[in-house]
Structure 1
Amino acid sequence: MAENTQKIARRARKQNGVHYTPPELAAFLATETVKALTRTDAPICVLDPACGDGVLLWAIAAALEPRRRARTTLVGYETDERAISLAERSLSGCGVANVSLRLQDFLDRDFDEPYDAVIANPPYVRTQVLGADRAQVLAERFGLTGRVDLSYAFIRSISNALRPGGVVGLLTSNRFLTVRAGAMTRSLLRTEFETRALYDLGDTKLFSAAVLPAITIAVRRPEGRGLASHPPKAMRKDQTLVPTTFTRVYSCTSGDAVAAQESNLLETLSDCSLSGIIRASEGHFRIERGVLADTAKPDDVWRLKQPKSERWLSRVRAAQAMMFGDVATIRVGIKTTADAVFVRSDWHELPEAIRPEEELLRPLITHREATRWSITPTRNQRRVLYPHLSRGGRRVPIELEDFPRTAAYLRSHEARLRGRRYVTDAGRRWYEIWVAHDPAAWAQPKIAFPDIAESPRFSLDRSGAVVQGDCYWITLKPGVDARWLPLMLAVANSSLATKFYDILFHNKLYAGRRRYMTQYVEQFPLPRLEAFASRTIVARSEELCATNPGRNVLEREIEAVVEKAFGLDD
């Protein structure tokens, strides 16, 4: 049976991007879900809306004590006929009162009789796999815009399927916690549920999917009891609110383990007394425990709140005069959507007849060149063919007849470029870069930084280079004092900004790599520009960008003065 499960799982991953839940993770999710159940004296009905091979339903049956299990009905929906056959065999001896498995898409159902509990690993299916027609139907039904978030559609349907007071245990990507695209999911959980517990499982590799997992345990609110802005807290019987517990675990280097555990990570995670660096059978991990922080706005990210970090954050806020977004514009770089055509390092080797004119070949900053403080040219550095000009303050595409060699080169790739139908459908010319930005803006002094980096790599550029889409770039708003730019550079590269990021955002991928995006960097703090410490930072930042010898000394000095500027030097 295990071999059949593995075959079905491999096929589901290959065809649909579906990942079945590993048994150990299923058991942990089921145990946490059962803990939140309050009805102990009546039969219960448990739903898995995408049951696959039945591992979650089996796990929740195993987590129930025998007397309660014997009065439980399990219901599963699944669209894969072979998977549901396997689930039927798997669940035949699980000891529950009844098992009902339905070969049907859960999202197409309306529910008359509510469930007592739902345990779910909603499928993570890419839009291109889902299909345009299906995506359009779901978008219209659930009010979705942009990329269709299938997990949101499942959670919305789950809220309709649960009775008030019913429990849901969800295994999803942790992206919904920290990105703007997850705001609808956060809002739904805030208004429809009382969230009891969150587990950000980070880069623990407990799940084979490319996404980093999170577990949410929540209780369906009584009708009309939604919250408008604060986090989705649980309610005691005396009507007082209970903060949502928040546990975060990520891999780390060995260090000093505070507890040497022979058990696996999930068993270690179940012991609420354990935090810090833990050695489990799978390796070393850092476990952080706290509560879900209050949110000022409905679309704020969900973050872990701990007393020590909140005190530190309060001191930084007290000294903060501005945020990056107050004085600067932060954007992602260009997106050609055809890099093989527009980006090359061997332009000089092309035959002269199809070698684009030099004035259209612009130096390109990628994540390779964006190092700390200043741009570091790389061997075989690439340049971008940039077929745009600035006229009258507006971006316009070049006229091909004005650049005959560029025209010849682009026409040699015309079929591929015309294949980007979305470009011409948007009223653009077939040879344009999809996201090109203002051609005049590249000449401004700017800070470039990689989208993904283990440590901050903010660099100053005055060369007029174009920034690639694997980086972001910062330019000052019109009329803003030019000294803000070197001040931002120093703050962004400081350990203070890294700690600020980890407390407020903590969007990390594998191996500790952080996601630096506009929504985070625009909130980085700035001290008063006219303060003595700030003037010192500006001077040292400019000096550091202009020199290589003595950089370590200057960096240490900047670190100390940044701490002082935010009142953290005691």
Structure 2
Amino acid sequence: MKFQEISDKLTRFINKYNYLAEERSANVLFLLKCIVLKYLADNQHLDFEAHQKAIKKNFTLDYVLAIWQGRPLETPFWGQEQTEPQPIGDEIWAWVSEFIQSSPALAGENPGLIGNLYEASLLLNHKKNHGVFYTPENIARYMAADVLEAFSPGNQQQDFRVLDPACGSGSLLSAIYDAIMVRSGELTPEQQATQHRQLLETGLLGVDRDPMACLVTRLILTLKGKEYVKPLGIFCGDILTEELVAVQSVDVVIGNPPYVGHKEIQTDYMKQLKNRYGEVYRDKGDLSYCFIYRGWELLKPGGQLIHITSRYFIEALYGKPLRAFIRKAFAIQEIVDFNGLRVIEGVGVDPAIIRLLKTNRIDDAQRIQVKRFFIKNHKPESYSKLIESLVQTDQPSDFYESFELSQIQLNDDSWRLYSPLTRRIIEKIEAKTPFTLDNVVHSFQGIITGNDKAFIFEVTDPVRPGFESSWLKPWIKNKDVKAFEVAKPQKQILYTNQISAIDEHPELVAHLEAYRDKLKNRRECKNGKLAWYKLQWGRDPDHFERRKIVFPYKATQNRFAIDEAHAYFSADVYGLILKPRLYHQITEEFLVLLLNSKLYNYYFKSYGKKLGDKLYEYYPNTLLRLGIPDIKDETIKVFKDSYDRIVELKKSGDNVGLGKILAEIDQWFYVFFELNQIEIAAIETNR
């Protein structure tokens, strides 16, 4: 309630005076000064009544902090603020005075509250525009607890240094400070004061590209002390491109680096990063990959890197260089995989926490502690309880499975974080699968038109005058593909890529003329590789004009079906075509039954790339790694009959009969792969 009331007052002020419409930094600074002044007054570090006339005439951070210190500051607290007197008008000062004297008191509150107010009330849309999402307090505390393993309070730790390379408003550094000072509780007051000064002047380092975020971090750390001490280790800049911290000079790198994909990064900056961090950052890699490499550079030998970052690197195709680097440069100590739970509010990225130890030699016996959350329907209001469960290690958790695996078991192609039970199941499958799906099928992606309005029609639309029937093809999308079933196409695509002379078809030109400008503006048209009237990525029409297996690119579970209608489809659908049968008897029917089985749903999800709580990415590079068994001719015939029966049951709506035959097929695969009842139960519950 206290936080919300203060936040509401700041918001009302912004709305009333339109203070953030222009000059964002200056106006945010004004409100930050109001919060700092209130904090100092409420905690009796200055007498507001006695000094308010002077403060009104000179409302600067340096002046306010100088009152707390009892003398003028030797150096400016923040070099970007104007230090000459800045008198405030009576109306605005009346609001300041009321805010300080009438808002809920901040006495005894953790100064980290200032960071929360900054993020909630003052930051507005800045976070999303820059890929910035700050670390919740409970996650910050969990990560900070790991730092204490390398720290002991007292004078012997004068050279202990912790760096947050993208510190934002200081939540991680604040949590580390608090954890260290709690451990320092048995020191004398004088020793604690020394510890406070050491942390602010040499122990805690932070870098951020946002000057205002750096200011907030400095303020939070400064206000944690009873006496004024200026933090000396908070720098405004880019840790990835500037030499702000000496290499091999810090004991711990702890961070929540920005989640920024290649599409959001400016071309020149991306080229600079690829030149600098080419070992881990290539193609469609994420900016956070560079932060891991940079952290390794800045760490002392034996130092720790603790990041909360996107979990995509664990499985993503473009994360392979990073996985290879981590595996050889660090002893991996812990991975907390939230498994699609988006525990940071407002972030459309699935997080994970990694704890790594910089070392020159990885012991073959190196074990990784994995905490992997179960896939359940958790609501955001329960996330705090989930995070708190991470520190309760004395008893099994209902929220996640905890297990160890050997670092030597990790494969650079994808990190399969298997529990012992899952590993046994996968080993049984792969022991009886002599080849992979990639050995038996070709895969291809659907069409990208570049302008659907120009090329996609409802089947109920009047036939275009003069259009040749061969130009119009049946068209399906992701939602039309179910397990064992492809919905009857309700749309058509105008397939123009086989037309060599558009001028010979005036009726076609007449239709496309309304879209000509937009079509010509497509990248491939602008660079001369594509005629303006053609589909942007028309693919090979022979792939569509045949029997094939189709499946959605993103889905919550395996959905494979045989397309008998020669349908064309959009890029959110993929197709599979059988390769020549040189050494196997695999058919489309068998593959669809296998891939839709509960066992192979479990198998794929054990290593497939997650997108949120339950969604998975069925990218061919991942899917085609599935092992495929070698089945005899007579068994193939049985599966063909089963498939035909399933299609009939789905058409008739006989769900009871359908459920029975699907259960029989699942049981056949359980027996074939020699699974026991415990393993079957894990598959049936998908846990």
| TM-score interval for Structure 1 and Structure 2 normalised by the shorter chain | 0.7 to 0.9
Alpha-carbon separation, structure 2, partners of 1:566 and 1:58 = 52
Deviates further, 444-453 or 337-346: 337-346
2:272 equivalent to 1:161: no
Aligned residues: 530
Matched-pair contact (CA < 8 Å) for 2:550–2:560: yes
2:216 equivalent to 1:83: no
* Matched letter for residue 303 of structure 2: G
Shift of 1:373: 0.5
Change (3 A) 1:542 1:33: farther
Alpha-carbon separation, structure 1, partners of 2:263 and 2:179 = 37
Shift of 1:417: 1.5
Q: Tell me, what secondary structure is at the counterpart of 1:244?
A: strand
Alpha-carbon separation, structure 2, partners of 1:533 and 1:185 = 43
The Cα offsets for residues 297-341 of structure 1, whole Å up to 9 and x where unpaired, read as 853211223222222222222222332111101233222333333
Matched-pair contact (CA < 8 Å) for 1:343–1:384: yes
Per the alignment, residue 596 of structure 2 pairs with: 493
Shift of 1:10: 3.2
The Cα offsets for residues 183-227 of structure 1, whole Å up to 9 and x where unpaired, read as 1221221122111100111333321210010100011113xx3x6
Matched-pair contact (CA < 8 Å) for 1:295–1:302: no
User: 1:16-415 residue pairs with structure 2 within 5 A?
Assistant: 16-35=130-149, 41-43=156-158, 44-64=160-180, 65-66=183-184, 70=196, 71-72=198-199, 73-94=203-224, 98-110=231-243, 111-113=245-247, 114-143=249-278, 144-208=281-345, 209-222=347-360, 225=361, 235=363, 241-253=365-377, 264-275=385-396, 278=398, 286-292=399-405, 298-345=411-458, 348-349=461-462, 352=465, 356-377=467-488, 381-389=490-498, 398-415=500-517
Matched-pair contact (CA < 8 Å) for 1:324–1:488: no
2:129 pairs, out of 15, 25, 34, with 15
Shift of 1:544: 2.2
Matched-pair contact (CA < 8 Å) for 1:328–1:477: yes
2:666 equivalent to 1:559: yes
Alpha-carbon separation, structure 1, partners of 2:250 and 2:311 = 25
Shift of 1:364: 1.6
Matched-pair contact (CA < 8 Å) for 1:125–1:150: yes
Matched-pair contact (CA < 8 Å) for 1:327–1:484: no
Matched-pair contact (CA < 8 Å) for 2:166–2:255: yes
Matched-pair contact (CA < 8 Å) for 1:483–1:538: no
Deviates further, 20-29 or 267-276: 267-276
1:469 pairs, out of 552, 555, 571, with 571
Alpha-carbon separation, structure 2, partners of 1:148 and 1:51 = 22
Shift of 1:352: 3.4
Alpha-carbon separation, structure 2, partners of 1:533 and 1:350 = 47
Shift of 1:160: 0.9
Change (3 A) 1:49 1:569: closer
Matched-pair contact (CA < 8 Å) for 1:91–1:99: no
Alpha-carbon separation, structure 2, partners of 1:369 and 1:263 = 38
Alpha-carbon separation, structure 2, partners of 1:450 and 1:432 = 25
Deviates further, 142-151 or 359-368: 142-151
Change (3 A) 1:137 1:350: farther
Q: Tell me, what secondary structure is at the counterpart of 1:514?
A: strand
- Taking every aligned residue pair, what percent have the same amino acid on both sides? 25
Per the alignment, residue 281 of structure 1 pairs with: none
Per the alignment, residue 282 of structure 1 pairs with: none
Shift of 1:116: 0.9
Q: Tell me, what secondary structure is at the counterpart of 1:529?
A: coil
Per the alignment, residue 393 of structure 1 pairs with: none
Per the alignment, residue 532 of structure 2 pairs with: 430
Alpha-carbon separation, structure 1, partners of 2:612 and 2:326 = 26
Matched-pair contact (CA < 8 Å) for 1:533–1:565: no
Shift of 1:439: 0.9
Q: Tell me, what secondary structure is at the counterpart of 1:140?
A: helix
Q: Tell me, what secondary structure is at the counterpart of 2:642?
A: helix
Shift of 1:148: 5.0
Change (3 A) 1:196 1:48: same
The Cα offsets for residues 246-289 of structure 1, whole Å up to 9 and x where unpaired, read as 111145158xxxxxx9972222122234445x2xxxxxxx4122
Deviates further, 516-525 or 38-47: 38-47
Change (3 A) 1:141 1:299: same
The structure richer in strand per residue is: 1
Please identify runs of 4+ aligned residues in structure 1 that moved more than 6 A. none
Change (3 A) 1:510 1:557: same
Q: Tell me, what secondary structure is at the counterpart of 2:300?
A: strand
Q: Tell me, what secondary structure is at the counterpart of 2:461?
A: helix
Q: Tell me, what secondary structure is at the counterpart of 1:448?
A: strand
Matched-pair contact (CA < 8 Å) for 2:173–2:204: yes
Shift of 1:569: 7.6
The structure richer in helix per residue is: 2
TM-score by length of 1: 0.85
Shift of 1:351: 6.5
Matched-pair contact (CA < 8 Å) for 2:525–2:531: yes
TM-score by length of 2: 0.71
Matched-pair contact (CA < 8 Å) for 1:447–1:473: yes
Unaligned runs of 5+ in 2: 1-113, 678-687
Unaligned runs of 5+ in 1: 228-234, 255-260, 279-285, 390-396
Alpha-carbon separation, structure 1, partners of 2:351 and 2:303 = 23
Matched-pair contact (CA < 8 Å) for 2:608–2:623: no
User: 1:498-537 residue pairs with structure 2 within 5 A?
Assistant: 498-503=601-606, 505-530=607-632, 532-537=634-639
The Cα offsets for residues 31-75 of structure 1, whole Å up to 9 and x where unpaired, read as 234336699943311111111111111111122222695443111
With a CA cutoff of 8 Å and minimum separation of 6, indicate the structure with the bigger relative contact order.
1
RMSD of aligned alpha carbons: 2.9
Alpha-carbon separation, structure 2, partners of 1:199 and 1:525 = 28
Shift of 1:418: 1.8
Shift of 1:367: 1.4
* Matched letter for residue 481 of structure 2: A
